[in-house]
Structure 1
Amino acid sequence: MQKAGYLPVATYMLPETIWTDYYSWQASRRASFLKKYDGNNSIKEFVATMQYEAELYDKYKAYYGYMFYIGKKI
């Protein structure tokens, strides 16, 4: 931040519930979405990718997250 000409003022890390709520919402709709677009291979691939993303989050959630930075122009 400082190399870009900003002085850090505050930081905020999003809580884990942001992730878990998002992925549980997806999981609850996955089956109906696949049923609605039955036979569409692009949709199947998309849903599989989203499910894989959720699995990666569950496996590695201790190692990453979302952080917001607020900076003041120096």
Structure 2
Amino acid sequence: MTAYNPIATLQKLESVGMDRKHAEALADELHHATTELVTKDELQKALDAQANTLTLRIGGMVAAMLALAVTLSKVFA
């Protein structure tokens, strides 16, 4: 992924006849929009971390339910 260059965008917009004030505003908005993007690798790492967290939580709940079941079986047996 290449970095967004707002100056190059500004120059291109001016070269096709757009007013500098409008070109600056548009280039600035595009710059802000592109800074929020993530790469596939970053997204995959975040998803993997979330999956690991959910796996640990579900494992903890299963262990707690198993412990509760064992305790209840001893109490009512």
Question: TM above 0.5, one fold?
Answer: no
Superposition TM-score, scaled by structure 2 size: 0.32
- Asked which structure has the greater RCO (Cα within 8 Å, sep 6+), the reply is 1
Structure with the higher fraction of residues in helix conformation: 2
Superposition TM-score, scaled by structure 1 size: 0.33
